[in-house]
Amino acid sequence: MQQGNFLFGASTSAHQVEGGNSNNDWWEWEKTRPKDFQSGRAADSWNRYREDIALAKKLGHTAHRLSLEWSRIETQEGRFNSVAIARYREILQELQLAGIKTFVTLHHFTNPIWLARGRLPAGRQGWESKKTPELFARYVKYVAQELGDLVDFWITINEPMVYASQSFVRGVWPPQKKNIFAMVRVIRNMARAHRLAYKVLHKANPRIPIGFAKHLIAYTPESKTKLTDRIGVALYDWFFNHMFFLLIRNKQDFIGVNYYFARTLRVRMFPFSISEVLLDVPKTDLGWPIYAKGLMQTLLHMKQYKKPIYITENGLADAADSKRADFIRSHIRAIEAAQKQGCDVRGYLHWSLIDNFEWAEGFVPRFGLIEIDYATQKRTIRPSAYVYKAIIEQSKGV
């Protein structure tokens, strides 16, 4: 790894680890689902954050990404909760004391119930409403005032394209819509929300770099020589990977990359179809293909935006912990290869520090460097976490 101050650590998000987030749209939706798909106490990090941070430190991490739960902070429209803010201050202070840099996400998929269910102007709810970007910016302003002194990097929104497609086209996440026009509205509103938040955050604390976390898929053609496959790849790549960067008009100080897998596309003309070809590579417990080269490819594509890059998520569901160590090694090698080709990559945050509530998939997928026994909330470090620790130490020349 080039450098001495490359950041290494792991990521989490509020709803997935804190537990008890009963004031958001996910919690409401989970009530309609079987018990294993309800976040409940999750990993109870709201109460056990000291232990989690101590473990991150023990594992040599120098950075940590977490998210703030909007529904805890703004419990009713315009009503802010100082108790929740005080707890987030404690968490961030604990990280600072441990010498760990903080990446703080302001929106990671969940919404306060009042925002998701309330009828906002123009008759629309949640992210479909034109009013939501302003409401988001107001919450962001409050948070910047209250917590800004403890934040090293801001991440405005996590994976806007994933949120918009899962919740508004595929209908698998709340509010479970299947409406392409709704998706377009949500993408536009999220881009505007990012731009407004960028302005607010810069004004509040000009020294803190701001970005958003972009889920990037490494699209590849089934056949490199087939023009139609290549056109299909170019279209998917533009729409899913690049369009949001254009919408935010490069208002970002760094690029946050969430990378998990590649997709190989096959295009047929008569009748027209674009389908996915399954790669013959090892898969994670969720069936996601493991393809480290795709990380290098996506990093090289990000060079065009001319900003420093941080990997804000990268990981796998692997309950047996039999593939995680190799996964980490190969993806870090991919980063090094991208650096050699001129990519300014400055940090790597593994998803995730601890096992957590994996959205619609519930608690079965195990993404943690640290295992959680949900019956007792006992934390156990997985062997791969020590492999990662050794990589971190080597890179510092320890």
Opening angle at CA 67, ends 29 and 124, nearest 5: 45
By rule CB under 6 A, what count of residues binds ligand FCB? Answer: 12
The footprint of ligand FCB on residues 172-191 (CB under 6 A) is none
Of 80 and 374, which CB lies nearer to ligand FCB in the complex structure?
A: 374
Q: Confirm or reject binding of residue 12 to ligand FCB (CB under 6 A).
A: no
> Residue 391: which of 61, 100, 10 has the closest Cα?
61
Q: Considering the complex, state which of residue 240 and residue 359 has its C-beta at the smaller distance from ligand FCB.
A: 359
Q: Rounded to whole angstroms, how far apart are CA atoms 375 and 212?
A: 34
**Dist CA 108 CA 144 (whole Å):** 17
By CB under 6 A, what part of segment 110-139 binds ligand FCB? Answer: none
SS3 content of the chain, % helix, strand, coil (to 5): 45, 20, 35
The CB-side HSE value for 235 (13 A sphere, CA atoms) comes to 10
Minimal distance, residue 224 CB to ligand FCB, in Å: 28
Q: Which two tokens stand for residue 23?
A: 């004031």
Q: Is 257 in the site for ligand FCB (CB under 6 A)?
A: no
The pairs formed by 116-124 with CB atoms below 8 angstroms and a separation of 24 or more are 116/24, 116/25, 116/28, 116/174, 116/175, 117/25, 117/28, 118/77, 124/185
Position 359 contacts ligand FCB (CB under 6 A):
yes
In the complex, minimum distance from the CB of residue 352 to ligand FCB, in angstroms, rounded to a whole number: 7
> Does residue number 215 form part of the binding site for ligand FCB (CB under 6 A)?
yes
Amino acid at 64: H
Q: Would you mind telling me the total number of residues written for the chain in this entry?
A: 398
Instruction: Tell me whether residue 25 or residue 159 sits nearer to ligand FCB (CB atom).
Output: 159
Residue with Cβ nearer ligand FCB (100 or 161): 161
Between helix 132-147 and helix 82-97 the angle, nearest 10°, is: 50
Provide, rounded to whole angstroms, the least separation between the CB of residue 316 and ligand FCB: 9
- Give the nearest distance from C-beta 215 to ligand FCB in angstroms: 5
Residue 297 binding ligand FCB, by CB under 6 A? no
Q: Contact between 351 and ligand FCB (CB under 6 A)?
A: yes
> With binding defined as CB under 6 A, does residue 285 bind ligand FCB?
no
What is the smallest separation between the CB atom of 122 and ligand FCB, expressed in angstroms?
A: 28
CA–CA distance, 96 with 111 (Å, rounded to integer): 28
Q: Is 162 in the site for ligand FCB (CB under 6 A)?
A: yes
Q: Which residues here bind ligand FCB, judged by CB under 6 A?
A: 13, 16, 158-159, 162, 215, 258, 313, 351, 358-359, 367
